Amino acid sequence: MIIGVTGGIGSGKSTVARLFGELGIGWVDADDVAREIVAPGEPALDAITERFGMQVLNNDGSLNRATLREIVFTDPSQRAWLESVTHPRIRERLLEHLRQLCTQSPYVLLVSPLLFESGQDALVKRTLVVDVPEAEQLARTLARDHVSEQQVRAILAAQLPRDVRLSRADDVIDNSRGRNYTQRQVAALDQQYRNSIT
Ligand code: ADP
Protein backbone atom coordinates (compact mmCIF):
# COMPACT_ATOMS: atom_id res chain seq x y z
CA MET A 1 0.00 0.00 0.00
CA ILE A 2 1.38 3.40 -1.02
CA ILE A 3 0.31 6.55 0.85
CA GLY A 4 0.94 9.84 -0.98
CA VAL A 5 2.13 12.62 1.33
CA THR A 6 1.86 16.16 0.05
CA GLY A 7 1.63 19.77 1.18
CA GLY A 8 2.93 23.15 0.08
CA ILE A 9 6.50 24.34 0.52
CA GLY A 10 7.51 24.48 4.20
CA SER A 11 4.33 22.73 5.38
CA GLY A 12 6.32 19.93 7.04
CA LYS A 13 6.29 17.00 4.56
CA SER A 14 9.88 16.00 5.31
CA THR A 15 9.27 16.35 9.04
CA VAL A 16 6.20 14.11 8.84
CA ALA A 17 8.02 11.57 6.65
CA ARG A 18 10.83 11.36 9.22
CA LEU A 19 8.27 10.79 12.00
CA PHE A 20 6.75 7.88 10.03
CA GLY A 21 10.30 6.67 9.45
CA GLU A 22 10.85 6.51 13.21
CA LEU A 23 7.89 4.10 13.34
CA GLY A 24 9.57 1.84 10.78
CA ILE A 25 7.85 3.12 7.66
CA GLY A 26 9.83 3.44 4.41
CA TRP A 27 9.45 6.53 2.25
CA VAL A 28 10.79 8.09 -0.92
CA ASP A 29 10.87 11.78 -1.81
CA ALA A 30 9.80 12.60 -5.38
CA ASP A 31 12.13 15.62 -5.45
CA ASP A 32 15.13 13.39 -4.71
CA VAL A 33 14.09 11.02 -7.49
CA ALA A 34 13.58 13.94 -9.90
CA ARG A 35 17.23 14.86 -9.26
CA GLU A 36 18.37 11.24 -9.45
CA ILE A 37 17.06 10.65 -12.98
CA VAL A 38 19.03 13.61 -14.40
CA ALA A 39 22.33 12.75 -12.71
CA PRO A 40 25.39 12.33 -14.97
CA GLY A 41 25.21 9.03 -16.84
CA GLU A 42 21.41 8.96 -16.85
CA PRO A 43 19.71 8.79 -20.28
CA ALA A 44 17.41 11.73 -19.41
CA LEU A 45 20.45 14.01 -18.96
CA ASP A 46 21.84 12.91 -22.34
CA ALA A 47 18.49 13.72 -23.99
CA ILE A 48 18.36 17.15 -22.32
CA THR A 49 21.93 17.99 -23.34
CA GLU A 50 21.24 16.89 -26.91
CA ARG A 51 18.27 19.24 -27.13
CA PHE A 52 19.56 22.33 -25.30
CA GLY A 53 23.33 22.05 -25.71
CA MET A 54 26.21 22.30 -23.28
CA GLN A 55 24.78 25.49 -21.74
CA VAL A 56 22.59 23.31 -19.49
CA LEU A 57 25.63 21.57 -17.97
CA ASN A 58 27.84 22.72 -15.13
CA ASN A 59 31.62 22.31 -15.48
CA ASP A 60 31.51 19.04 -13.58
CA GLY A 61 28.98 17.58 -16.04
CA SER A 62 25.98 17.88 -13.72
CA LEU A 63 22.75 19.54 -14.82
CA ASN A 64 22.59 23.31 -14.41
CA ARG A 65 19.05 23.42 -13.13
CA ALA A 66 18.85 27.22 -13.02
CA THR A 67 19.64 27.53 -16.74
CA LEU A 68 17.24 24.76 -17.67
CA ARG A 69 14.50 26.31 -15.53
CA GLU A 70 14.99 29.63 -17.33
CA ILE A 71 14.64 28.00 -20.75
CA VAL A 72 11.46 26.08 -19.99
CA PHE A 73 9.96 28.83 -17.83
CA THR A 74 9.63 31.12 -20.85
CA ASP A 75 8.66 28.44 -23.39
CA PRO A 76 5.70 26.14 -22.73
CA SER A 77 6.54 23.82 -25.64
CA GLN A 78 10.06 23.23 -24.30
CA ARG A 79 8.57 22.64 -20.89
CA ALA A 80 6.17 20.07 -22.32
CA TRP A 81 9.07 18.34 -24.06
CA LEU A 82 11.12 18.28 -20.82
CA GLU A 83 8.21 16.82 -18.90
CA SER A 84 7.65 14.15 -21.55
CA VAL A 85 11.25 13.06 -21.00
CA THR A 86 11.40 13.31 -17.22
CA HIS A 87 7.95 12.41 -15.90
CA PRO A 88 7.78 8.79 -17.12
CA ARG A 89 11.29 8.18 -15.82
CA ILE A 90 10.52 9.75 -12.43
CA ARG A 91 7.42 7.59 -12.16
CA GLU A 92 9.27 4.42 -13.08
CA ARG A 93 12.12 5.12 -10.64
CA LEU A 94 9.69 6.05 -7.84
CA LEU A 95 7.91 2.74 -8.25
CA GLU A 96 11.25 0.90 -8.26
CA HIS A 97 12.24 2.51 -4.94
CA LEU A 98 8.81 1.93 -3.42
CA ARG A 99 8.78 -1.71 -4.48
CA GLN A 100 12.16 -2.15 -2.81
CA LEU A 101 10.96 -0.46 0.41
CA CYS A 102 7.79 -2.58 0.47
CA THR A 103 9.84 -5.66 1.29
CA GLN A 104 10.69 -4.25 4.75
CA SER A 105 7.78 -1.91 5.51
CA PRO A 106 4.07 -2.69 6.10
CA TYR A 107 3.15 0.23 3.83
CA VAL A 108 5.24 2.95 2.16
CA LEU A 109 5.08 6.71 1.62
CA LEU A 110 5.52 8.67 -1.59
CA VAL A 111 6.40 12.20 -0.47
CA SER A 112 5.78 14.75 -3.21
CA PRO A 113 5.13 18.50 -3.15
CA LEU A 114 3.30 18.17 -6.48
CA LEU A 115 1.45 14.91 -5.84
CA PHE A 116 -1.84 16.25 -7.26
CA GLU A 117 -0.37 18.68 -9.81
CA SER A 118 1.83 15.98 -11.42
CA GLY A 119 -0.77 13.22 -11.41
CA GLN A 120 1.38 11.09 -9.09
CA ASP A 121 -1.71 10.66 -6.92
CA ALA A 122 -2.75 7.99 -9.42
CA LEU A 123 0.03 5.80 -7.97
CA VAL A 124 -1.25 5.88 -4.39
CA LYS A 125 -4.01 4.27 -2.36
CA ARG A 126 -4.62 7.25 -0.08
CA THR A 127 -3.47 10.87 0.04
CA LEU A 128 -2.24 12.57 3.21
CA VAL A 129 -1.99 16.37 3.23
CA VAL A 130 0.31 18.12 5.69
CA ASP A 131 -1.38 21.42 6.41
CA VAL A 132 -0.35 24.74 7.94
CA PRO A 133 -1.65 28.28 7.27
CA GLU A 134 0.17 30.12 4.48
CA ALA A 135 1.75 32.63 6.86
CA GLU A 136 3.36 29.72 8.71
CA GLN A 137 4.57 28.13 5.45
CA LEU A 138 6.22 31.41 4.56
CA ALA A 139 7.81 31.94 8.00
CA ARG A 140 9.17 28.37 8.24
CA THR A 141 10.54 28.37 4.69
CA LEU A 142 12.28 31.72 5.25
CA ALA A 143 13.81 30.36 8.47
CA ARG A 144 14.97 27.16 6.70
CA ASP A 145 16.19 28.33 3.28
CA HIS A 146 18.29 31.23 2.01
CA VAL A 147 15.51 32.66 -0.12
CA SER A 148 13.62 35.93 -0.34
CA GLU A 149 10.00 36.38 0.67
CA GLN A 150 9.26 37.18 -2.99
CA GLN A 151 10.72 33.83 -4.11
CA VAL A 152 8.65 31.90 -1.57
CA ARG A 153 5.50 33.77 -2.59
CA ALA A 154 6.17 32.87 -6.24
CA ILE A 155 6.47 29.18 -5.32
CA LEU A 156 3.30 29.39 -3.21
CA ALA A 157 1.46 30.92 -6.16
CA ALA A 158 2.60 28.11 -8.48
CA GLN A 159 1.34 25.37 -6.13
CA LEU A 160 -2.27 24.33 -5.56
CA PRO A 161 -4.22 26.67 -3.27
CA ARG A 162 -4.56 25.37 0.28
CA ASP A 163 -8.33 24.81 0.12
CA VAL A 164 -8.12 22.84 -3.14
CA ARG A 165 -5.36 20.63 -1.75
CA LEU A 166 -7.35 20.01 1.44
CA SER A 167 -10.48 19.16 -0.53
CA ARG A 168 -8.56 16.40 -2.31
CA ALA A 169 -7.05 14.87 0.85
CA ASP A 170 -8.13 11.54 2.27
CA ASP A 171 -6.25 12.32 5.50
CA VAL A 172 -4.88 15.57 6.94
CA ILE A 173 -2.16 16.31 9.49
CA ASP A 174 -2.41 19.71 11.18
CA ASN A 175 1.25 20.71 11.52
CA SER A 176 0.55 24.25 12.72
CA ARG A 177 1.26 23.45 16.35
CA GLY A 178 4.15 21.85 18.23
CA ARG A 179 6.05 18.79 17.04
CA ASN A 180 4.51 16.60 19.77
CA TYR A 181 1.05 17.36 18.46
CA THR A 182 2.16 16.34 14.97
CA GLN A 183 3.86 13.21 16.29
CA ARG A 184 0.60 12.10 17.95
CA GLN A 185 -1.30 12.51 14.67
CA VAL A 186 1.38 10.51 12.85
CA ALA A 187 1.13 7.70 15.42
CA ALA A 188 -2.67 7.59 15.06
CA LEU A 189 -2.52 7.47 11.25
CA ASP A 190 0.19 4.81 11.37
CA GLN A 191 -2.16 2.63 13.43
CA GLN A 192 -5.02 3.31 11.00
CA TYR A 193 -2.87 2.39 7.98
CA ARG A 194 -1.49 -0.77 9.61
CA ASN A 195 -5.02 -1.83 10.57
CA SER A 196 -6.29 -1.30 7.02
CA ILE A 197 -3.84 -3.85 5.62
CA THR A 198 -5.18 -7.33 6.05
P1 ADP B 1 8.58 20.60 3.62
O2 ADP B 1 9.31 19.30 3.51
O3 ADP B 1 7.09 20.46 3.47
O4 ADP B 1 9.11 21.70 2.76
P5 ADP B 1 9.84 20.70 6.28
O6 ADP B 1 9.48 19.40 6.89
O7 ADP B 1 11.23 20.89 5.78
O8 ADP B 1 8.75 21.11 5.14
O9 ADP B 1 9.47 21.84 7.35
C10 ADP B 1 9.75 23.21 7.06
C11 ADP B 1 10.51 23.84 8.25
O12 ADP B 1 9.62 23.95 9.35
C13 ADP B 1 11.69 23.00 8.71
O14 ADP B 1 12.74 23.85 9.10
C15 ADP B 1 11.13 22.25 9.91
O16 ADP B 1 12.14 21.92 10.84
C17 ADP B 1 10.12 23.23 10.49
N18 ADP B 1 8.94 22.57 11.10
C19 ADP B 1 8.29 21.47 10.66
N20 ADP B 1 7.26 21.16 11.48
C21 ADP B 1 7.26 22.09 12.47
C22 ADP B 1 6.43 22.33 13.63
N23 ADP B 1 5.37 21.56 13.93
N24 ADP B 1 6.73 23.39 14.42
C25 ADP B 1 7.77 24.20 14.12
N26 ADP B 1 8.60 24.04 13.05
C27 ADP B 1 8.34 23.01 12.23
Domain holding 42: CATH number? Answer: 3.40.50.300
DSSP code for 57: B
Q: Which of 49-58, 121-130, 154-163, 187-196 has the lowest mean pLDDT?
A: 154-163
Q: How many other CB atoms are there within 10 angstroms of residue 111's CB atom?
A: 23
Cα gap 111→14, rounded to integer Å = 8
**Contact (Cβ atoms closer than 8 angstroms) between residue 26 and residue 109:** yes
HSE toward the beta carbon, residue 26, CA cutoff 13 A:
17
* Ligand 1 proximity of 115 Cβ (cutoff 6 Å): no
- How large is the average pLDDT for residues 134-162? 94
* Ligand 1 proximity of 8 Cβ (cutoff 6 Å): no
Nearest to 109 by CA among 184, 195, 23, 174: 23
- pLDDT of 198 > 80? The answer is no
- Overall domain count for the chain: 1
| Residue range(s) defining the domain that contains residue 29 | 2-197
Q: Ligand 1 centre from 51 Cα, in Å?
A: 37
Ligand 1 atom with the smallest distance to the CA of 18 is 6
Confidence of residue 118 (pLDDT cuts 50, 70, 90): confident
* Ligand 1 proximity of 183 Cβ (cutoff 6 Å): no
